[in-house]
Structure 1
Amino acid sequence: MTEQNVRRRGGGKRKRQRGRGEQAMVPDAEFTSYYGRPVVKASPWQADIPAYLFLGGLAGGSSLLAAGADLAGLPRQRRSARLVASGAIAGSLFALIHDLGRPARFHHMLRVAKVTSPMSVGTWILSAYGPFNALATGGELLGLMPDPVRRSRPGRMLGVAGRPGGIVAALIAPAVASYTAVLLTDTATPSWHAAKRELPFVFVGSAAAASGGMGLVAGPLDESGPARNMAVGGAVLELGASRIMQHSMGIAAEPLRQGTAGTLHTAATALTATGALGAVAVRRSRIASALSGLALTAGSACTRFAMFHAGQASAHDPRYTVVPQRERRDRESSPT
């Protein structure tokens, strides 16, 4: 092996000293890759995808809130939550299809069902959730129609199907809120993959905080109990799981504290904590409750965008791929 090859492979130098043979003088490693290309190819996803992640979580949480309000006899809270769920899932599907480029590509994914593919499973989850959520929302909109429309045969049928549709949508809703975390962590992107144990809990908590927050914004103050409880519980779960996640991610958590991702993550933590405290402390003010709800919803959106940008940044830096690999190798080779 020539000296030139040594420099290429390890960046080291060979130095001959009298009476001591050859010694390899190796400087600190520089994390570079062949031709300056990343070790892991960054995802081609654009800003549509974090919006899709956020709106899907908001839709799933709102369906759960609507079902709870329905069973508790809170009609105005139920109606507002179902309308939020429908708007959010429509926006989520639009963002996904826009990222795919052509609507037909979403349809093509329904040709197969592959349980080992989070994207395939997610497509089927959304396809199952959408019609039942539409039935529930149709029942709510029917209640705003004139009596002749409500009493017609289609109106009666839609009114009967509204409540069962909402219950079935609520049963599918947890999968809608959480499968996107599996979609991210199933990739080779360092910061996403390193969060595979905790990210589903972060996303579920974030979805609950956002949907509860929107319940405080859109629902009446005298029926806001379920929304308030959901918002506070989701915020506690999100903040706690995020803290544990950052600790377990090791060096792969660094991109979540730097650059655009760091700014968004700081904003997410501040907005979620402030919104939760406001929801607990101020219960009789409509304006304060709405502001708390907006803070929780904005914090949830920042969480999704922060995680997205952290993953993209980690893919561009070889250090976040190489160092965890070496750490795993050292753990596996060390005696137990």
Structure 2
Amino acid sequence: MYKNLAATLAVAASFSLAPAFSQTPLKVGFVYVAPVTDTGWVRQHDEGRKAVEQAFNGKVKTTFVENVPEGPDAERVIRDLAQQGHQLIFTPSFGYMEPTLKVAKDFPDVKFESITGYKGAPNVATANARYYEGRYLAGIVAGRMTKSNVAGYVAGFPIPEVLQGINAFTLGMRSVNPGAQVKVVWLNAWFDPARERDAAMTLFNEGVDVVAFHTASDAIMRAAQERGKMAVAYHSDMRKAAPDAQIAAVTHHWGEYYVQRTKAVVDGSWKAGNVWGGVKERMVRIEGFGPKVPKKVQEEALARQKDIASGKLKPFGDLTDEQILKMDYLVPGVLGKISR
């Protein structure tokens, strides 16, 4: 279903960003599901937006709308951007998929990029990253660092992407610590700092000494810092929020993809398609090791990262992409049930 992004990004790295532009800048819109903060999911996509502005040196004008709930509000904002003359619109949230498709039907000349969506159209491309590869690597670090052998995981919604992350993290832990377990708490929300913090505190009270998460703020990192526990940052490096607590960060990088797709609109080569890039394509990586992590553990995680990039290591073994994309279960070692 998804194309390998390596060739696409290689082209992006090799071309000159100096085509013949019209005098009117290309208008590119971004819709964000949470506020733009110093870290997190939205921060990483906003870094991608900034990369677009920098790459095109004033020839492209970007606009963003932040803190837009999934559902009717999203459709209204996306439609407004299209009506305002934006010729390319990025909608990076799973719940934006259907609103994006609705608006795209009414604006066939506008190009849309549904990030984490899986349904496309002639003017709607889909893209996602193999976040689970970074999760597996973080699990290795957590498995080496835990003393209680029980990690916590604060999860947003039970969509396949989140289940992939929980399962990969668990498999990574158990690859180096076979007795490790992962206790899951579901929030059914992407961005709720108060509840994120409460969930982390509950897990710490239940004997968890390291926590990972799939939510949009750094509240869990701050909770771990406060309690003297360990945490794996997600989306961004969060050492500023948790300098002692962070043992590693699974980070996302959208700049290359966003620049390449904008260039395609400019030069008329844009086509709808599906991409799913990971460690190999530099869209996901593990970094930001904290001071508690021995060098030997850091080197182990980085060596496994190279193995994933080369194809030598596959976190989910022989599962096909189609099977991974439809993941609807939790692997052995996970304590908890899927929230329905």
| TM superposition score category, shorter chain reference | under 0.3
Compute the TM-score of the two structures, normalised by the length of structure 2. 0.24
Largest Rg, 1 or 2: 1
Structure 1 or 2: larger strand share?
Answer: 2
Compute the TM-score of the two structures, normalised by the length of structure 1. 0.24
